[in-house]
Chain A
Amino acid sequence: MTADFLNSFQSEWLKTKRSLAFWMVVVGGFFTPAVIIVARLVRYSRLPEIYSDDNFWALLWKNSWETMAIFFLPLGAILSTSLIAQIEYKNNTWKQLHALPLSYTTIFFSKLAVILVLMLQFFVLFNLGIYFSAVVPYLLVSGTPYPQQAMPYRFFLNENILYFVDTLPIVALQYLLSLRYKNFLVPVGLGFLFWVGALASLSWQFGYIIPYTYPMFNYLKDVERSRAVTPEVNIHLLALGYFAVITTVSYVIYLTRREKG
C-alpha cells in the first residue's frame, strides 16, 4: 500500500511537469516579491531609511503577505487545485488512471498529496522570493545598508504554517468540486464566488463560517485600523476541522461515483 502510494504520487507529480498548475505556483511564488523589488528600485532614495528600520523583516513580511493573503493565496489555491484535477479531464485520462492497478484510495490521496506538495512548494518559493526582495535592492543600490535585525526565522515558520493550515479548507473544497465537475469553469467559478463571499463577510461577526476567509483573517489579525472582525474562535483549528470533513465527504463522493472514466 505504501509502495503503491509512493509510486502513484511520483506518477502524479510527473503529470504536473510543464502543466499550468506548476507554472502558476512558480510565477505566483515570485510575483509579489518581484513587485516589491521593482517598487523599491523605483523609489531607491528611500532604501537607506527602509533598510535601517528596526522592524525591517516584520514590515517586509507584512508587505509581502498583504496581497498574498487576500488575493493570490486563495485564488492560487482555487486555480491550482482545479487545474490538477483538470489534467485528467482535459486529456481524457480518468479512464486510463482508473484502469491502473491502484486502489481508488491511493489514486484519491496521491492526487491530493500532489496538490498539497505544490502548495508547500509555493510557500517555499514565496519565502525565497521574500528573501530575494530584501537582498536584491541591497545588492543593486549602493549605499543601502544590510538590515541589522536578524531574520526572524521562527516567526516566519510559524506564520507559514498558519497560512498553510488556513488554506487547507480551500484546497479540500476545490478538490471536491474539481473531481465532481468535468467543466473547469464550475469549480473555478464557484471558488471565485466563495472568495468574493469571504471578502464581503470579513466584517461580519460570523464571517469565520466561510472557510475561504482564514488566510485573510490570519493576515488581518495584526493590521491596525482594519474593519475586519477578529473571529472569537480559533480559525486554524476550524480550518483543520473543515479540511478533514470536506476531504472525507469528497472521498466518499469519489468512491461512490458510478462512472470512473
Chain B
Amino acid sequence: MHVLETHDLTHAFSKEETVLSGISLCVDDGSIYGFLGPNGAGKTTTLRLVLGLLKKQHGSISIFGKDFGKDRVEILRQIGSMIESPSIYSHLTATENLRLLQKVYRCPRSRIGEVLELVGLANTGRKKAGEFSLGMKQRLSIAIALLNNPKLLILDEPTNGLDPNGIIEIRELLRRLNRESAITIVISSHLLSEIDRLVTHIGIINKGRIMFQGTLDELKRRQQQSLSVILETNDLGRTREVLSQDGVEADYQNGRCILPALPKERIAQINRQLVDRGVDVYELSVVKNDLEKIFIDLINE
C-alpha cells in the first residue's frame, strides 16, 4: 500500500518558471524513501505541496489513501514534518516549544520528555531555543516532528547543520523509528552518500522532473549495469585493430579504451591477444561506478 502518492504534480511560481513537471511519487508503507536531487531541483517545493503549504495547481495528492485536499486536518494529525530550516520559537525553551504543539496534538505531556530524550536535548533546561546551536535547533525540529507519534515522517534535509556524529545519530534514530514503530519516512537530501545507508527506496528529482524512482536494489542493479573496463596500452591504433577484429565495441577517451562490462575470462583473453600482437598493456582495470556516480549521471541526463 502507498502511504503517500502524488500524481502528475505540476507547479509554477510564474508563467515563465515551472518548478515541477508531472511529479508522481509513490511511497510504500513502512519504507524509508530518500528524495534526492541537487539544490533547486524541486524537492522542497514537492514536500511543501504534499503538506499543503503551497496551493496545488495541478495533479493530485493522496496520503493514507485519502485525498489531501478533502481530509487535510485528519491527515496532518498523523504526519510529523520538518521543512527546510528549523521552525522553532527562539524566545521559548525546548520544552515550551514542544508544549505549545502538545496542546494542539493533544498527546500526553510525558511525550515531551520522551522526544527530547530521543534527540538528546533532555538537559537543555531553561536555555532558550534562540541560544541553541544550529545542530541543536535541527534536533529540536526533529523532536517536534516526532511529538505526535506520526505514521508518516516528512523530513526535508534534516541533517543540515549537524556534525558527522550528529548525522550518524539521527540516521540511527530514524532507522530505529522505522523498524520499531513502523513509521514511514520521507527524507530529502542533496547528497546520496548521506542517506544511501538509510533508505529502502529512492526518488531522484532534477529540474522539477523525476529521473528515477524505485528501490535501492533497483538503483544498485543500474550500478552493476554501468561497470566498465579501462584499457591503456602503448599503441592505441593497434589496440583498436585488435579489439575490432575481436568484435569488442569500445570508446576511446584521452588515449585510453573504455570497454563495456565483460566476464573475467574475456578480459584475460583480450589481454593475451594484445600481448601476442606485441602491444604493451599498461593498465587493465574494472571501474565500478558508485551510487554517487549513478546519481550524478542521472541528474546530468
Contact = CB atoms under 8 A, between A and B. Distances in A.
Interface in A216-261: 257-261
Contacts of A258: 54-55
B28 interface: no
B91 interface: yes
B101 interface: yes
Contacts of A19: 91
Interface residues of B, number: 33
A99 B103 contact: no
Contacts of B92: 14-15, 17-18
Contact of A95 (B72, B74, B87): B87
B89 A92 contact: no
B79 A91 contact: no
B87 A14 contact: no
Given A14-B96, A15-B100, A99 B52 contact: yes
Interface residues of A, number: 29
A224 B37 CA distance: 72
B18 interface: no
Interface in A2-50: 3, 7-8, 10-12, 14-15, 17-19
Contacts of B85: 92
A95 B55 contact: no
A8 B104 contact: yes
A99 B76 contact: yes
A103 interface: yes
B104 A7 contact: yes
B87 A259 contact: no
A103 B73 contact: yes
Given A14-B92, A260-B53, A95 B48 contact: yes
A102 interface: yes
Interface string A64-92: 00000000000000000000000100111
A11 B103 contact: yes
Contacts of A143: none
A93 B89 contact: yes
Contacts of B99: 14
Contact of A92 (B87, B91, B105): B87
A140 interface: no
Contacts of A87: 89
A102 B79 contact: no
Contacts, number: 87
A260 B54 contact: yes
Contacts of A98: 51-53
B91 A102 contact: no
Interface string B85-99: 111111110001001
Nearest to B51: A99
Instruction: Name the residue among A87, A90, A96, A260 with the largest chain B CB count within 10 angstroms.
Output: A96
B83 interface: yes
B144 interface: yes
Contacts of A101: 73-77, 104-105
Nearest to A87: B89
A18 B90 CA distance: 10
B106 interface: yes
Interface string B50-76: 011111000000000000000011111
Contacts of B75: 101
B147 to A, nearest CB: 10
Contacts of B81: 96, 99
Contacts of A11: 100-101, 103-104
Nearest to A9: B103
A96 B104 contact: no
B53 A15 contact: no
B94 to A, nearest CB: 13
A80 to B, nearest CB: 15
Nearest to B144: A96
Contacts of A150: none
B238 to A, nearest CB: 64
Nearest to A13: B100
Contact of B87 (A18, A93, A257): A93
A18 to B, nearest CB: 5
Given A91-B90, A95-B87, A260-B53, A17 B96 contact: yes
9 contacts: A14-B100, A17-B92, A18-B92, A87-B89, A99-B52, A99-B76, A101-B76, A258-B55, A259-B55
Given A12-B100, A95-B84, 14 more contacts: A7-B103, A14-B92, A14-B99, A15-B100, A96-B81, A96-B144, A100-B101, A100-B105, A101-B74, A101-B76, A101-B77, A101-B105, A103-B72, A258-B54
